[in-house]
Amino acid sequence: MYSQDELSQIIQNGIDTIVYSTNAPRLFDPVRYTLESGGKRVRPTLVLMATNLFTDDIIPAIGPALGLEIYHNFTLLHDDVMDKAPDRRGRPTVHVKWDDNTAILSGDAMLSMAFEHIAKTRTILLRPVLELFTRTTIEIGEGQQLDLEFESRDDVTEEEYIEMIRLKTSVLLGCALKMGAIIGEASEQDADILYRFGTDIGLAFQLQDDWLDCWGDPKTFGKRIGGDILCNKKTYLRITAEKTAQIPECSGMSEQEKIDAIKAFYIETGAEKACREKIAYYHGKAMKELSAISVADEKLALLKALAAKLENRNI
Amino acid sequence: MYSQDELSQIIQNGIDTIVYSTNAPRLFDPVRYTLESGGKRVRPTLVLMATNLFTDDIIPAIGPALGLEIYHNFTLLHDDVMDKAPDRRGRPTVHVKWDDNTAILSGDAMLSMAFEHIAKTRTILLRPVLELFTRTTIEIGEGQQLDLEFESRDDVTEEEYIEMIRLKTSVLLGCALKMGAIIGEASEQDADILYRFGTDIGLAFQLQDDWLDCWGDPKTFGKRIGGDILCNKKTYLRITAEKTAQIPECSGMSEQEKIDAIKAFYIETGAEKACREKIAYYHGKAMKELSAISVADEKLALLKALAAKLENRNI
């Protein structure tokens, strides 16, 4: 089995040696800029890890793994245009450093490049991998659409919120693991177990993100504590709290006073507890799923460690 | 062999029965709006025609043909955002009828849907079809990038202009024909002949578009005569004329006076003649290519008729 460090090195080498088309080099400057900015490379790592559960030969998974990483970065690039986000990973976003048109067009090129890399899958496995990836990319678009729609709605239910984050972020983790499993020639049953495991871990991760925005450690969270509260984002906490009570009036308060007031509101209404319980629920569900896989327990250590790390946000 | 009408009917049926994902229905409203607005369906027709040169069973080509049509409409949708175009085919563009974010996101969904339909190719032919399509989409992005770059350059050469229109518009016609040929299990040689034929016809068509902007029949051209001149677009005529002389100073002129002055300039400098010669050159090159294909002459009638119609712009 490959270690986490070895997998990271393989992915970094892959990113560094991507071959770019040369007819219009400037089209790819923002693509390089986006891909070189790092991030945790969680999704390609999951692809390789899943393949490695079933075979020592992970080479055939590298192309598709890079495809998934390129795709993920494409979604960030276009989402940043739509959200008018000024920076990402400590650097100006593409539409700020260049302009909106460049961001749209180079994003489109990244989506094509993602498919180009997915297409490196061995011929015999190309159809299931391509169908999985295509369906996932459409679902992620749907998740982003729901997220945009929710901004102007006041009646979003808990179920709708969970469905939105499932589509927008969780299915890609499920897709990464299932893709790796298919390439490792896992049974359909094992591939589906990994899909559900990835999706449930993704839901736990996203709910954790909502919770950490209020109670996270500023040193490890990476974003400003209370950011969601200050921009009135509809999170799981807010949707759950508003089911039972009216959100407190915060006009005239300082930013810190507002954050404190809303955090207290989340605790009083039981939303904070409900959120922790929901995280534990999806985490438990994911682990229960995984226990049914026909892979020796010691081989699952790396996957479990990555899932645990994701939850504790230390990566 | 299928008639042109039968092929059009098959494509229209295909467009009408596209299955949309249902998690966020509003994501697909702009997609339906774009696809139902018509257009000439040239590209999917070319796919089916090419398949039909080699087999009577064109059913396996329908999915990929629709994929190409969805892709083409995606490029128009995103190009309209980048160009801030107010209307297309007599209706408001998506970014006007909805907004920029909706246009970006629903365009992204269309690109995924295009791949979803390309993926309906029979397993044994999936890899070459997918590789052809992926490379083509990247080239078209490069063509659009060059087009945007040329707007702010004064030293674009004739060769650079030809290369830009080859990438931006011609390779998709070549791709359509080659894809159809692959699905019809043509020889590699015949598939490549059709690719070059399509690309050359595409170049002739695009140069014709430049020429018709000046000397076309307003009744059949579909766009305002002189439109390129009024917005100072760098066309083949302009680039060629400026190689030998300075473009006339037109400030203070009425729109019609400017159009007349520039048209006279194109004739005096020989650019008009050079343009007609270049159209004839690519048309002749295309026809010569086609004569080497191992398909009975009578089967090529429909393809030649479509090429001729494209040149005369009566479709």
The mean pLDDT values, 10 residues at a time, for chain B of 315 residues are 94 96 96 92 97 98 98 97 91 96 97 98 96 98 95 93 97 98 98 98 95 89 85 93 93 94 97 96 96 96 88 56
Residue A257 in tokens = 């006073």
| Cα A167 from Cα B112, distance rounded (Å) | 15
Residue B148 in tokens = 């945007």
CB contact under 8 A, B137 and A27: no
| Cα B164 from Cα B144, distance rounded (Å) | 8
Q: How far is B215 from chain A (nearest CA, A)?
A: 32
pLDDT of A315 higher than 50: no
Residues 138 through 177 of chain A touching chain B, CB cutoff 8 Å: 138-139, 141-146, 148-149, 163, 167
pLDDT of residue B314: 44
Q: How far is B77 from chain A (nearest CA, A)?
A: 11
| Cα A18 from Cα A274, distance rounded (Å) | 44
Residue with tokens 């945009």: A148
Cα angle for residues B187, B191, B196 (degrees, 5° grid): 145
B-chain residues near A77 (CB < 8 A): none
A314: confidence class by pLDDT, cuts 50, 70, 90? very low
Of A23, A104, A137, the CB nearest to B78: A104
C-alpha separations of B239 from A286, B206, B212, B249 in Å: 63, 14, 16, 16
pLDDT of residue B276: 95
A87 beta partners: A92
Amino acid at A212: L
Those residues whose C-beta lies under 8 Å from the C-beta of residue B28, and which sit 6 or more positions away, are B20, B21, B106, B109
CB contact under 8 A, A145 and B27: yes
What is the pairing mode between strands B91-92 and B87-88? antiparallel
pLDDT of residue A133: 98
A-chain residues near B81 (CB < 8 A): 104
CB contact under 8 A, B145 and A21: no
pLDDT of residue A313: 56
CB contact under 8 A, A78 and B105: yes
Report yes or no: B23 at the A interface, CB cutoff 8 Å: yes
CB contact under 8 A, B142 and A82: no
Amino acid at B296: A
Amino acid at B22: T
| Cα B138 from Cα A28, distance rounded (Å) | 11
Residue B249 in tokens = 């100073």
Is residue B176 a contact partner of residue B159, using CB atoms and an 8 Å limit?
no
CB contact under 8 A, B78 and A142: no
Amino acid at B91: R
Residue A178 in tokens = 């299932």
**To the nearest 5 percent, what fractions of chain B are helix, strand and coil?**
75, 0, 25
Hey, is B229 helix, strand or coil? helix
| Cα B70 from Cα B18, distance rounded (Å) | 10
Element (H, E) at A92: strand A91-92
pLDDT of residue B224: 82
Summarize pLDDT for B2-45 with one digit per residue, the tens: 999 999 999 999 999 999 999 999 999 999 999 998 788 999 99
Residues B283-303 as b/e (b if ≥16 CB within 10 A, e otherwise) read bebbeebbeebebeeeebebb
pLDDT of residue A310: 79
Residues 124 through 143 of chain A touching chain B, CB cutoff 8 Å: 126-127, 130-131, 134-135, 137-139, 141-143
Amino acid at A239: I
Of A78, A104, A130, the CB nearest to B82: A104
Summarize pLDDT for A112-167 with one digit per residue, the tens: 999 999 999 999 999 999 999 999 999 999 999 999 999 899 899 999 999 999 99
